[in-house]
């Protein structure tokens, strides 16, 4: 079968139509085969456990590039819906929290451990963190473990709204562990100072204020459902910020380092 229309492009791959009911995630040539196999395997484990997610139909090679065939989920991302109907933003912030809480109630023992995931990402940013690295890793080990399924990159652009159901995509970073670490990463993504280049600097204060409102709407909803306290979630911000450095999002490094240094002083 030949790949169809290009649907989207991400940091590691392009997504194409593949027949009527599937998509091809076709990875760029620089992405290792080990990484691709890992994503396919995690996707299978999660889907077979009943977690809302696209089915995985296997790996292929197209135009000398490796790819994964996924079930096609009809619909828009939450972010796409919000762009079309911005008045739904706070409704979706609450819905995101409710859905994430639901995901965290699943268990998949085959998934990598949370502390393994965090440790590898933190160690990969040693050039930036320097001697902070060992302190952060030691702190990470002191945090409570868990066994929840965690998406690892849970945000508006990774959730498809398909009729009356929600389906998370891009399970590459999934792990099992304490769900509050997953919540901490989502909080950081919501508060990130990065902004689209199309938004003028004069609107930055308004954008950041909106982010704070979305953040508190989401966080209050999750805390209400889980009965977790703010301090319990805040305890995960240090390792979540350190591991987020390797995302290399423009405009984030100084902000993340300020968060890290402030918490290390405590």
Per residue in 218-242, pLDDT tens?
999 999 999 999 999 999 999 999 9
Q: Which residues contact 58 (CB under 8 A, 6 or more apart)?
A: 40, 68, 69
Closest CA to 189 of 146, 235, 152, 231: 152
Higher pLDDT, residue 45 or 205: 45
Confidence of residue 217 (pLDDT cuts 50, 70, 90): very high
Cβ–Cβ < 8 Å for 24, 18: yes
Residue 196's pLDDT is what? 63
Spatial separation of the C-alpha atoms in residues 8 and 30, rounded to whole Å: 18
Query: How high is the pLDDT of residue 11?
Result: 84
**pTM, 2 dp:** 0.92
- How many angstroms separate the CA atoms of 167 and 174, rounded? 14
- Angle separating helix axes 114-123 and 132-142, nearest 10 degrees: 170
pLDDT for 203 beyond 90: no
pLDDT given for residue 186 in this prediction: 98
The pLDDT assigned to 266 comes to 85
Residue 208: band (very low, low, confident or very high) from pLDDT cuts 50, 70, 90: confident
End-to-end CA distance of the chain: 57
């Amino acid at each position: 079968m030949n790949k169809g229309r290009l649907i989207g492009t991400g940091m590691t791959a392009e997504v194409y139509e593949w027949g009527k009911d599937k998509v091809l995630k076709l990875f760029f040539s620089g992405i290792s085969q080990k990484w691709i196999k890992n994503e396919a395997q995690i996707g299978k484990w999660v889907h077979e456990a009943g977690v809302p997610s696209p089915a995985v139909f296997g790996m292929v090679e197209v135009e000398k590039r490796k790819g994964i065939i996924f079930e096609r989920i009809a619909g828009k991302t939450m972010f796409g819906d919000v762009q079309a109907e911005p008045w739904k933003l706070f409704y979706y912030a609450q819905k995101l929290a409710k859905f994430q809480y639901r995901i965290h109630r699943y268990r998949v023992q085959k998934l990598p451990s949370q502390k393994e995931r965090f440790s590898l990402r933190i160690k990969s940013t040693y050039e930036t963190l320097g001697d902070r690295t060992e302190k952060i890793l030691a702190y990470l080990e002191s945090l409570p473990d868990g066994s929840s399924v965690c998406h690892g990159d849970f945000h508006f652009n990774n959730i498809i709204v398909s009729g009356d159901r929600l389906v998370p995509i891009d399970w590459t970073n999934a792990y099992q562990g304490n769900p509050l670490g997953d919540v901490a990463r989502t909080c950081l993504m919501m508060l990130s100072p990065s902004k689209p280049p199309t938004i003028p600097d004069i609107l930055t204060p308004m954008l950041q204020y909106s982010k704070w409102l979305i953040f508190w709407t989401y966080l209050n909803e999750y805390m209400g459902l889980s009965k977790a306290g703010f301090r319990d979630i805040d305890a995960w911000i240090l390792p979540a910020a350190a591991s987020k450095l390797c995302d290399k999002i423009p405009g984030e490094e100084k902000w993340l380092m300020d968060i890290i240094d402030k918490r290390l002083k405590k």
